[in-house]
Amino acid sequence: MKPRVLLGITGSIAAYKAADLASLLTKRGCDVTAVMTADAQEFITPLTLQVLTQNPVVTGLYDEKQSWRPGHIHLADRADLVLIAPATANILAKLAHGLADDALSAICLATRAPILHAPAMNGKMWSHPATARNAATLAAWGHHFIGPENGLLACGYEGLGRLWPVEGIADRALEILAAAPNSSA
């Protein structure tokens, strides 16, 4: 059975790179389901991810048009890995404080699968004490992180905050899947 990856996409300009990541994970043998926040949909469309993953895209907890789709608990239960790329300061704060007001955060709180975050944000946001504390809290709970990396940021600043290269994110996801005791990998 193919490993099941829930690809969480949040509202960062780096969201456009999620298309390449979804395609790469699919080519590497994963069954990918995209879960998008409302802010992510400002940067990339669900249709793009649906075509690349060949799966319906989750955009909300109460999507009446797609009531045939399993609920967030079913998705959380069947995931072998939840990969959030890009992970914004907002999603890190939500998860560190147990908030679940959208499909992605609800799935993350309900899953027992490993969670991998690939942060992407302005360097000042990444280095803010609140973000550092939230990331440390999640890491202490067993969440995995890759990046961010140094480079030119979308805001024009140079610094730490760029999304890690998608090939590296995919490699790390597959490593975590291979090490997970209940993985389909």
pLDDT at 39 exceeding the cut of 80: yes
Strand order in the sheet with 31-36: 31-36, 4-9, 81-87, 115-119, 144-145
pLDDT at 77 exceeding the cut of 50: yes
Query: From the CB of residue 130, how many other CB atoms can be counted at a distance below 10 Å?
Result: 12
pLDDT at 83 exceeding the cut of 90: yes
The fold adopted by the segment(s) 4-179 is: Rossmann fold (3.40.50)
Query: From the CB of residue 133, how many other CB atoms can be counted at a distance below 10 Å?
Result: 13
Decide: 19 and 49 in contact? Cβ < 8 Å: yes
pLDDT band for position 69 (cuts 50, 70, 90): very low
pLDDT at 163 exceeding the cut of 90: yes
Q: What is the mean pLDDT of the chain?
A: 92
Write out the catalytic residue numbers: 155
Averaged pLDDT, 120-129:
94
pLDDT in tens, 140-152: 999 999 999 988 7
Which residue do the tokens 């399993």 mark?
Answer: 70
- What is the reported pTM? 0.93
Buried b (16+ CB within 10 A) or exposed e, 34-59: bbbbebbbebbebebbeebbebbbbb
pLDDT in tens, 91-105: 999 999 999 999 999
Q: Identify the pLDDT of residue 160.
A: 87
